Structure 1
Amino acid sequence: MTDELKEDLVAVIAELEKKCKEHPDNVMAFQHLGLVYMKAGRMEEAVTALKRTIEIDDLCTEAMINLGAIYFGMGEIDKAQKLNEQAVGIQPENAQAHANLGLIWQQRNELEKALEAYNKAVQFNPKLASTWINLTSILTMKGEDERAVEAARKALNLEPDSPLGHNNLAVALYFVEKYEDSKNHMLKAKDLGYSVDPNFVEKLEEKIS
């Protein structure tokens, strides 16, 4: 973060803190403050602001999702799950909440539940590139290789320079025996800075040689 951006955030935070103090029931002010705290890396304060947002408006799904993301990053998975499930209960077609639940179930190694959540996420918003990437991983683990290739290609259509997207497609292509294509995407992932598994590279080279 540049010094100029830091100064801008400090100014915005000061203005929002003042607004929240003057208007303790202003849901938008607290929600915005929570987001700016997140951007500034001040997570404990972001938690407090987003909690207050939900206290004022217990239907504010955006605050629930953002607070859940903070808890997930802190390793407080139960709290993250509860908040995203609460958001889905309010907005059943909230793609981001479903995507977050997919991550949570994947973290818990509940692959079927993760798959269901990711499928719902891309159904409600097919432009979530990161979810297509995560879906690729789950499908590969489950041995659904053709579907994994399809999901990886959709991810890269949305984010052509995603290092993880190219790596995941390389792996998926390996399992459908398209080794040259797999190598091309593996090399692209490396060019983009991804640390490709050397064991995968070795196995791929064996298939090509």
Structure 2
Amino acid sequence: MTIFREQLNSRSHDRAKERAALGLKYLSETARALTATADSEPQPPRGFCAPLVLICGKPPKVPVSCPLHGVVCEDDSSFCLLKGNAIKPLIDLMNDEYTDVQIAAVEALSTIVSDAQNLKNATHELEQLGFFDAAIYLFKEVTPGELQEKVISMVERFLQVESLVQLYSTDQALVNALVEALKRGTPRTKRHAQNVLTNLRQLSGVGGRNSNPTPGRRTNRLSD
């Protein structure tokens, strides 16, 4: 995790950044697989710490579950992008000047929005990192192609969270980008764009009719 994360900086070769992002993608996918395995294993019986409470006078400290995985991920985890502090560098990499690097970063970040319930639990953490704003901004800036297809797929997943739908439903630039994707995007892009538009209308009751300023805080223009 550390080696991959260090290769994401701007001084690295473009191919190294792309491979590092893909490496983080595979580690993140492994974290999901390990979580699924842990969930299927029998849990220790409850109440076995009661004698310790009597001896020490207070219950043992309970580790906090990772919001992305629903289990305890150590701070130095080799698999969790959140605990491994790899999400922010990947977000920054979506602003890279090379499309292949951007695609690899989007693919890695897509792994953290694959589980709807865990995504809902981690919304606050991801919002603080600027993940949602960055993904929305990228989608509004890219031209039709593979990158657009990858990022709209990711956007579709996290715009199933009601609080995020309410946040972005009045972003007229986003609605315009979705309509444009319906006209010019690949078949998959069109399907994802249609799903996002439908979801915005159903959950928000707005569907982008307002013309409020966009909520994104990023100002740098993203390259395709």
Q: Could you say which TM-score interval applies, normalised by the shorter chain?
A: 0.3 to 0.5
Greater share of helix residues, 1 or 2? Answer: 1
Normalising by structure 1, we get a TM-score of 0.39
Structure number with the bigger relative contact order (C-alpha 8 A, sep ≥ 6) is: 2
Normalising by structure 2, we get a TM-score of 0.37
